[in-house]
Every structure is written in structure tokens, then in C-alpha cells.
Amino acid sequence: MVIDDLIEIAEKERAARKKHVVRCCMAAGCMSSDSKGVKEALEKAVKDAGLEDQVEVRGVGCMKLCCQGPLVQVDTNEPGATVEITTGNQGPLYQRVTPADAASVIGTLKGGKTTVQCGDPKDPFFTEQFSIVLANSGIVDPERIESYIAAEGYQALHHVLREMTPKDVVDEMIKCGLRGRGGAGYPTGLKWATVAKTPSLQKYVICNADEGDPGAFMDRSVLESDPHSVLEGMAIAAYAVGATQGFVYVRAEYPLAISRLQTAIKQAKQQGLLGSGIFESPFNFNIDLRIGAGAFVCGEETALMASVEGKRGAPRPRPPFPAESGLWACPTLINNVETFANVAPIVRKGADWFAGIGTEKSKGTKVFALAGKITNTGLIEVPMGTSLRKIVEVMGGGAPDGGRIKAVQTGGPSGGCIPADALDTPVDYDSLMKLGSIMGSGGMIVMDETTRMVDVARFFMEFCMDESCGKCIPCRAGTVQMHGMLTKILARQATVRDLQKLEELCEMVRSTSLCGLGQTAPNPVMSTLRFFRQEYTDLLKKDLYGGPNGNGNGEPKPAPTA
């Protein structure tokens, strides 16, 4: 493969584009509502209408507004019109389409009318998005490498191999200010630089796709919708740090993502974009999949590496850090799906372009999965610094049925609950930490006024308790004790002293646990206590010995002395 071959593939793909492209969402959410049947019915309707030479029915990835799926959108390439390479001129967005609606949708291309529910592509849910990671999502066919190449795919990889040194690539990543999107927000360029300067005959690159947060589906959607963007980002990273082997660690609960990754890897190898002598350079790089069994703790990088090595997925103390001694004791670069998906656009458009998006300390955009008590559930991508209010009320449409938003949970089990009166907070790493929450990988669960926050805290504590690997006592025993105390509070059997013990235990588990799972497990409890303490105290015993008139130890307060 040389650049001329890449250009030829892209030009053929664009030249083959028909007048109308009917895009049908084939991501997991829509497929659960029979979008496969919808696509087959659309293809039959095109044939029945005699429009095969004018209409392409394209299966695409996530089209973002998951609550209205299956989604179908029609792009039209009118003669003389200015057409974007991938998007065309976007037309109607049909929602909740069934196979029975297919003939009606295709009939509109011949001047007919349809009663199929039609959404507004100019709704704030779409217009307020700024897509970098999701730029190809819902546009390209994730099962055809030609579709990705036509969207400038693999041009960034060619550029770095032919025109940049590994140090140039690392410097570009430092300059752009990208921070890891897996949750901790560690500077990506700094991590790459550490791996690059560590001497070793063998180095590895790992993509952490073990997305286990309840309500989170960002990484899954990227892998289902645009797998080549992740592979290209991994290859660029491997060139920068001197690695020759990569692994994508993805959980078995994501069969569609796994299937499309397998297809993408096979196609990239066939085209010479993975393997030996990529773009006729000395660079060699291969990628293999490793399927996880679904343990949440394997999202922690040292536990993940143990699992890749065939061992029980349990974390180990650090240092040494993976960048110096990771997989099989070799220097290892680990980033998550979204981080790698940002790499190729940064190379193509430049570090200054990316650094100009977002805030001073949080550059670029962030993908969020909106879920819970909100009108518009689905995927959004917005610049860092966008307010929570804009995300949940403007883009998300607020709580359904006229309800009021009570809180927003960010960061999953490791995050915290942010109250409605703090919705003007900008979404960036530092601002969320000040509120006792974290960015996390991007899950965002909205709660309305019917939600009891103590129930929320217990739900996440039960999750952490069940997912604890048990290696360290603070997490293994502490999460069980905290869950028991929350259950006792909900049963109205707890005292003031029990609440004090809960807070003390939270601090102990946070400060003494071995890995991030235990260290952040108390966050939902601590944040709900901070902002919704009254809901806890309202559930405490109100008798003389356990309530406000007692000392919390089952004894009355001592009588005042004369």
C-alpha cells in the first residue's frame, strides 16, 4: 500500500456514490429494535421501486439519538450541489422506523408522502454537538474499510510514517493537550513520552475497551460505528513509542463491537495497513483482540494486563507503572477507545487546532452517554467546558413528562452526584473534581425529583461490592460494610452514630484501597452526603436513644448539670 493506492480507493468510493444514500442505523441499540429488518426492507423497497441505480441503502453505526431508534436518514446528492465527502446533504431523519415503513420512506424519493415520524436534524441535540471522535459515526459503513478511507481514513498514519519522526508525533501529542479519556485524565503526550524513552526490545500498545460503568456505552458505540479510527490511532501511537504489537481488550458482552473489530483488523491487514512494512516503511505493527469475561476491575490497567497475560484479573501496586514495566514486564502504553479515536484527527488537523477547543486545562471534546430520567437518551460529543445545564436541559431536553432534574451522576460508580443547583458547572476535569465527582469515561445518568439519593448511593455501592476483586481488605470488607450501613439507613434502623461511622469508613476505604475501584467506590456516598444530607438524616431513628435527642449510641444524652 502506498499513498496513491489510498487515494485511488477514496476516489472510487466517492465516485460510486449514488444520488441518494439512505443511512440505516445498525448499532446495537437500534438492532435490538430490528433495524436489521428495516435495512432489508429498505433494500427491497428500492428494488421494487426500480431505483437501484439512484439509491444506496447503507448500514451505518450509531446515529446518536438512541431513544428514537431505529433511525433512518436520507442524504441527497443533487447535481451541482456542494457535497461533503461523507455526509452529503442531509435530509429527513426518520425515527422509530419499522420494516413496514420502508416502502413509505423510499416512496418519498419519488415525490410521495409518508406518515413515518420525522425528527428535526436542526434540534439542539444535534446542532450543539462538536464531533471529532463521532465525526464518522452514523455516516460511514463500519464494515467496509473503503468507506473509512473515503473519509480521510489512514491519511494520518501515512503522514506520520513518511513525514514525522516518532519524537515529532510525541511532541505533537504533548502540544495538543489531549488528556486520557478513560477517567483519570492523565496527559496523553506525557504517557507516550515515558513509554518512548524507556529502552526495551519489545513494547506493547493496549486499547482499553473494557467499558463497565452502568449506563455507559460510549466506547462500545465507537467500536461498532468507526472501528478503523481506533486501529489507526493505535498504529500511530505504536510508531511514536516504538511498539510492534497491539491488543484491544474488549468485554465479551459487546459481541457486535467484537465482530466489527475483527472485520476491521482483517481488512486493514489485507490492505497492508497493519502487519509488516506499512506504507512501504520499516514500521511493523499487528493488533490482536483479547476478550474479557466482564469483571469491572479489569478496567484498571494493571488488572487488565494480568487478564491479557492469562492470569486472574487483579490489580498490583504501582510503581512500577505500565509505561516502564507493563505487559510481560515490557514497557506498555494503555489508552482507552476515545483517546485513540482522537489521535488521527489531531495529526490531520494539527495540535493547535485541537488545543483551541475546550478549556485551558481540558482540551478538545468529550463523548457522553446520556441516560436515565431524560428526554433524549443517546450519545453526544461537546467541547470541554460545556455546562451541565446545556447538556441535560438543552441537548437532553430535560426530564420527561414535565419533571424536574434533581441530580446528574457523572463518572459511574467512581463518580459523584451533582445537584440541580450546580448545573451551570462547566464539564471539565477540574470543575467536576471540585464537586466531588469525576469525568470518568463519560457516563452521565440523569435523575429526576422522584429519585431517592440514598437508593442511588446503595445501588453503586452494591455494584462496587460485587465487582471488588477482593485482593485488598479495605475494598473487600469496606464496601460490604458501607453497603450494610446504607441498607440499615434505608430500613430506618440507623442512628446518628451510624451515619458518622459511614463517613469515617468512606474516608478509610478511599485512602487505603489498592486500586482505583476501591479508592473511588465511596464517591457516590460522599457526594450524596454532601449535597443531599437531609435525605439521610430524615431516615435516621427519631426515638430518644437513636435520633436527634440521643447521642447516637443507643443512650440518652446526659442530663444537664446544675
Distance CA 549, CA 393 (A): 42
How does pLDDT run along the chain (562 residues), one tens digit per residue? 788 899 999 999 999 999 999 999 999 999 999 999 999 999 999 999 999 999 999 999 999 999 999 999 999 875 433 334 344 447 889 999 999 999 999 999 998 999 899 988 889 999 999 999 999 999 999 999 999 999 999 999 999 999 999 999 999 999 999 999 987 789 999 999 999 999 999 999 999 999 988 888 999 999 999 999 999 999 999 999 999 999 999 999 999 999 999 999 999 999 999 999 999 999 999 999 999 988 999 999 999 999 999 999 999 998 999 999 999 999 999 999 999 999 999 999 999 999 999 999 999 999 999 999 999 999 999 999 999 999 999 999 999 988 999 999 998 888 899 999 999 999 999 999 999 888 888 889 999 999 999 999 999 999 999 999 999 999 999 999 999 999 999 999 999 999 999 999 999 999 999 998 899 999 999 999 999 999 999 999 875 444 444 454 545 555 555 4
Among 346, 331, 345, smallest CA distance to 205 is for 331
Enter the C-alpha cell of residue 68: 428514537
Q: Cα(379)–Cα(445) distance, rounded to whole angstroms?
A: 12
Same structural domain for residues 332 and 435? no
Residue linked to cell 485551558: 360
Residue 465 belongs to a domain with what CATH number? 1.20.1440.230
Grid coordinates representing 254? 459487546
User: Does the residue 391 lie in any domain?
Assistant: yes
**What pLDDT is recorded for position 205?**
98
Does residue 208 sit in the same domain as residue 348?
yes
Instruction: For residue 137, tell me if it sits in a domain.
Output: no
Q: CA-to-CA distance for 417 and 268, rounded, in angstroms?
A: 42
Q: In the prediction, which pLDDT does 86 show?
A: 40
- Write the CATH number for 388: 3.10.20.600
Return the pLDDT at 557: 54
| Lookup result for grid cell 452526603 | 529
- Domain boundary residue, one of 411, 443, 475: 443
List the beta bridge partners of residue 334: 206
Q: What's the structural domain count of the chain? A: 4
2 within a domain of the structure (yes/no): no
Residues 524/465, Cβ–Cβ less than 8 Å: no
The CATH number of the domain holding residue 67 is: 3.40.30.10
End-to-end CA distance of the chain: 94
**Which of 315, 329, 321 shows the shortest CA–CA distance to 194?**
321
Query: Quick one: 350 and 463 in the same domain?
Result: no
The secondary structure of 496-548 as a DSSP string is: HHHHHHHHHHHHHHHHH-SSHHHHHTTHHHHHHHHH-HHHHHTTS--STTTST
Shared domain check, 349 and 387: no
Q: Which of 274, 210, 209 is nearest to 243 (CA)?
A: 274
Angstrom distance (rounded) from CA 522 to CA 414: 8
Query: Is 4 a member of any domain?
Result: no
77 CB neighbour count, 10 Å cutoff: 15
| 244 shares a domain with 302 | yes
Q: Is residue 235 part of a domain?
A: yes
Grid cell listed for 193: 513520552
Of 354, 378, 399, the last residue of a domain is 354
Question: What does residue 398 show for φ and ψ, rounded to 5 degrees?
Answer: 75, -175
Asked if residue 213 lies in contact with residue 443, where contact means CB atoms within 8 angstroms, the answer is yes
193 and 82 assigned to the same domain: no
Q: Which set of grid coordinates corresponds to residue 508?
A: 478509610
In which element (H, E) is residue 239 found? Answer: helix 227-241
Yes or no: say if 418 and 427 are a contact pair by the CB < 8 Å rule: no
Picking from 392, 419, 443, the residue at the C-terminal end of a domain is: 443
Same domain, 317 and 231: yes
Q: Distance of CA 407 to CAs 104, 429, 446, 530, 531, Å?
A: 42, 18, 6, 13, 10
Beta carbons of 523 and 517 less than 8 angstroms apart: no
Q: Residue 32: inside a domain, yes or no?
A: yes
Residues 302, 382, single domain; the answer is no
Task: Tell me if 415 is assigned to some domain.
Answer: yes
- Does 290 lie in the same domain as 229? yes
pLDDT of res. 449: 94
Q: Is 381 helix (H, G, I), strand (E, B) or coil?
A: strand
Do 64 and 108 belong to one domain?
yes
Q: Are strands 89-94 and 118-119 parallel, antiparallel or unpaired?
A: antiparallel
The pLDDT of residue 77 is 74
| Inside any domain, residue 13 | no
Q: Are residues 207 and 328 in the same domain?
A: yes
**What pLDDT score does 83 carry?**
36
Would you state the cell numbers that stand for residue 222, as one nine-digit string? 465507537
Range of the domain at 65: 18-123
Q: Which positions ≥6 away from 562 have C-beta within 8 Å? A: none
CB atoms within 10 A of CB 360: 11
- Residues 424, 485, single domain; the answer is no
